[in-house]
Structure 1
Amino acid sequence: MFKKYEIYKTDKYNMLTVEVQGKTLIVREISDQWGEDTHTFISRPEMMHWAQNRFRATDFVGREEELEAIMAALKEV
């Protein structure tokens, strides 16, 4: 049985989930602009490094709380 974490979901076309399969972390990013993108990581630090590059503070100007919530949810995985 895999553990699945919902990081955020704004609707059925915009969401980010993480599946934990043993030591492997599978991040699925679904967006109405880009479709589904899947990233596979072998460690939490590797996933967090990706997240810090993917979710930049400059993209969340005026929405800093949203960025903090995403990063906090990823750290809890």
Structure 2
Amino acid sequence: MSKGIKKVTIYKQDKWNMLNVEVHGTRIVVRVISDQWGEDNFEFLSRPALMHWAEERFSVERFQGTEEERLQILEAFKEV
């Protein structure tokens, strides 16, 4: 019997800028919504693949917020 979809909000700045993760059994779907780029979806088949993507996307060099915000986002991904 399916447990359904687990949804996790990684961050939400407003209704136009957010990142959500949905766990569909063994598939993990990341939905990035931004006022600049619209909606992007990324699909992963494992948590290590998800974490690799998250660490690249939210690397120190690329992230434009504070280090505390960056670490909170990465911690939220670890809890998925």
Q: Same fold (TM over 0.5)?
A: yes
CA contact (8 A) 1:60 1:66 kept: no
Give unmatched runs, 5+ long, in structure 2: none
Pick from 3, 14, 18: which aligns with 1:15? 18
Give unmatched runs, 5+ long, in structure 1: none
Pick from 40, 43, 48: which aligns with 1:37? 40
Residue in 1 aligned with 2:58? Answer: 55
Pick from 65, 70, 75: which aligns with 2:68? 65
Residue in 2 aligned with 1:75? Answer: 78
Report the alpha carbon displacement of residue 60 of structure 1 after superposing the two structures with TM. 3.6
Report the alpha carbon displacement of residue 63 of structure 1 after superposing the two structures with TM. 0.3
Which structure is higher in helix share?
1
Give the secondary structure class of the aligned counterpart of 1:59: coil
Alignment RMSD, CA only? 1.2
